[in-house]
């Protein structure tokens, strides 16, 4: 992840995440996944999630749609990709390609400052992540083979689970 983050910074992006979790939950996530970027808290979705049109009104947990928004240094939105739901994630290569097309100047970004880390009550323990992704991958393969109309989505989910698994294994090395 750190190598990809450096590449993204070289393409002119500052990276951060915004979601409804608490700062303590964010600190736990940053530690657990060794994330090289800060996470910002918007618990009632009013500060950024709703104003940016990212709220998922159908989700009972009131989470935001995963999204990538690239804003230039003058505040112009240059790229937007909002996912359909929590399982639809942009591949890192697609983000890097979008940044390359923009031709922004390189930027610097300090690593996140990790505060008091308290995982949420539903946080997945570290040891469960690889089996979870493996199970999700196999379920997607099965659904894609049973339902041809869902094959493309299933293939995207399989690729995502493979990316997550490889990134996590690389982090452990």
Q: Model confidence over 146-172: pLDDT tens digits?
A: 999 999 999 999 999 999 899 888 888
Instruction: Report the range out of 79-83, 93-97, 118-122, 137-141 with the highest average pLDDT.
Output: 137-141
Joined together, the tokens standing for residue 70 give 């690239």
Q: State the DSSP code for 9.
A: H
Joined together, the tokens standing for residue 163 give 């990316």
Which residues is 55 bridged to in the sheet?
A: 64
Q: Which pLDDT does position 153 carry in this prediction?
A: 92
Joined together, the tokens standing for residue 5 give 């983050």
More confident call, 29 vs 73: 29
Q: How confident is the model at residue 4 (pLDDT cuts 50, 70, 90)?
A: low
CA–CA separation, 48 and 79 (whole Å):
16
Q: How confident is the model at residue 64 (pLDDT cuts 50, 70, 90)?
A: confident
Joined together, the tokens standing for residue 158 give 């399989």
> pTM above 0.75?
no
């Amino acid at each position: 992840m750190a190598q990809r983050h450096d590449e993204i910074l070289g393409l002119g992006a500052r990276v951060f995440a915004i979601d409804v979790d608490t700062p303590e939950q964010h600190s736990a996530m940053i530690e657990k996944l060794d994330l090289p970027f800060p996470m910002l808290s918007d618990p009632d979705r009013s500060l950024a999630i709703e104003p940016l049109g990212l709220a998922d009104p159908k989700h009972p947990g009131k989470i935001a749609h995963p999204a990538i928004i690239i804003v230039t240094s003058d505040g112009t939105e240059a790229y937007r990709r909002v996912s359909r739901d929590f399982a639809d994630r942009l591949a890192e290569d697609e983000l890097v390609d979008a940044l390359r097309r923009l031709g922004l100047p390189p930027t610097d970004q300090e690593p996140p400052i990790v505060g008091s880390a308290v995982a949420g009550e539903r946080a997945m323990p570290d040891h469960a992540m690889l089996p979870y992704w493996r199970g999700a991958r196999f379920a997607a393969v099965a659904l894609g083979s049973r339902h041809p109309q869902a094959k493309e989505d299933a293939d995207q989910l399989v690729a995502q689970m493979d990316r997550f698994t490889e990134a996590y294994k690389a982090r452990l090395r």
